[in-house]
Amino acid sequence: MDQKYRDAVQLIKTAILQSQYEAARSANEKQLMLYYGIGKYISLNSRNGFWGQGAIDTISEQLCRELPGLRGFTGRNLRYMRTFYEEWQVLDKCNSAPLINKSPILELMSSKMEEEPINEIWNSRVPSLDDFPMTDFMSIGFTHHRIILGKAKEYSERLFYISECANNNWGTRELENKIKEDLFHHQGKLPNNFVQTMTPGMQALKAVSSFKDEYLLDFINVEEIDVRDAADIDERVVENSIVNNVKNFILTFGKDFAFVSSQYHLDAFGEDQYIDLLFFNRELNCLVAVELKRGKFKTSYLGQLQGYLSVLDGFEKKPHENPAIGLILCKDMNKSFVDYVIQDYSKPMGVATYKTSRDMSEELRKALPDIEELKRLLDTEE
């Protein structure tokens, strides 16, 4: 095929894909506007007693009779739409929400609403509406909104998950896992020295946002740890569990991490050293050395890790790569103490803690899926 034809194919293909994307985005926006408008209509007519008891289920049943094959308008979903409006009714006053405020469904229903104010929950405490991430809000699906409203209670936490979903294209299962891991309260909060040791500044900010201060490693074989003698319980048990479940570990760490090796051999000046786990981060364009520690943090761990990073930079780093980053994963730490002592080290390092299923409450542990079932679900999803 001539180059001019190849260029034409690429141009037309790009136009088709862009058009499909715009159509999908527009369809999602229209659906959210519809649900917001219906939710407002139901809220204003049901909360103040204008409708009688059981009205929502009656309306749902009649809708299904008059529109055979209609999906998504069960009594339960209509109540979800009401919640969607009531939790985000602040958008009625938001300057950046013209798409919602000018929704045809609102204009259609406005004359039939009993305009009586309903109680706001936390929306009255919203600090600023002008900075509302409307583009992100309108780009994720209604199911994502349902999950976020049901599992995240703080306003800032909800906005965080909305933006993360929009920017990272999370599916609903991944969103639920991130909320379960409490990503909002842990991401970017680990003790580190990135700002002082990394240049330029943007690289340091990316590094901070790439790590959490606590990781949930619920796939680690707790039974294996329990049956071993106390003297045999060491970091290798955790390391082997991570290697055997490296797919789960990377899902926990983040999509930009690629696994290189466990017990990575460093040979410099005749000294043999071994890094517990070595990763490469595509976003940061650097190697990431992870050291696993069974007990509480010790300052000696930083010196050991700094030595590994020096050898990685001197002997392993490619010319196009950034300097390596180190992460210590331990069972416990005093964050204030770690934050203080880590500032005196010249290599970029952070310290985080991890939890296994043994550290969770019995109730939560029983709620976790079986490891084999989790693997099957992940493979099926892919």
28-62 pLDDT, tens digit each: 888 888 888 888 888 888 887 777 788 889 988 88
Q: Is 141 exposed, middle or buried (0-12, 13-18, 19+ CB in 10 A)?
A: middle
The answer to whether the beta carbons of residues 56 and 120 sit under 8 Å apart is no
Q: Which two tokens stand for residue 134?
A: 């409307």
pLDDT of residue 314: 95
Name the strand (E) or helix (H) holding 82.
helix 75-87
- Cβ neighbours of residue 89 under 8 Å, at least 6 residues apart? 40, 43, 118, 120, 123
Q: Range with the lowest mean pLDDT among 4-8, 260-264, 326-330, 373-377?
A: 373-377
Which has the closest alpha carbon to 309: 290, 295, 281? 290
DSSP label of 124: G
Sequence ranges of the chain with CATH classification 3.40.1350.10? 194-381
| Ramachandran angles phi, psi of 34, nearest 5° | -60, -50
313-326 pLDDT, tens digit each: 999 999 999 999 99
Question: Is the pLDDT at 295 greater than 80, yes or no?
Answer: yes
Distance between CA 29 and CA 34 in Å, rounded? 9
Distance between CA 296 and CA 330 in Å, rounded? 6
SS3 275: strand
Which has the closest alpha carbon to 256: 276, 278, 280? 280
pTM score: 0.57
Question: Topology of domain 194-381, per CATH?
Answer: Trna Endonuclease; Chain: A, domain 1 (3.40.1350)
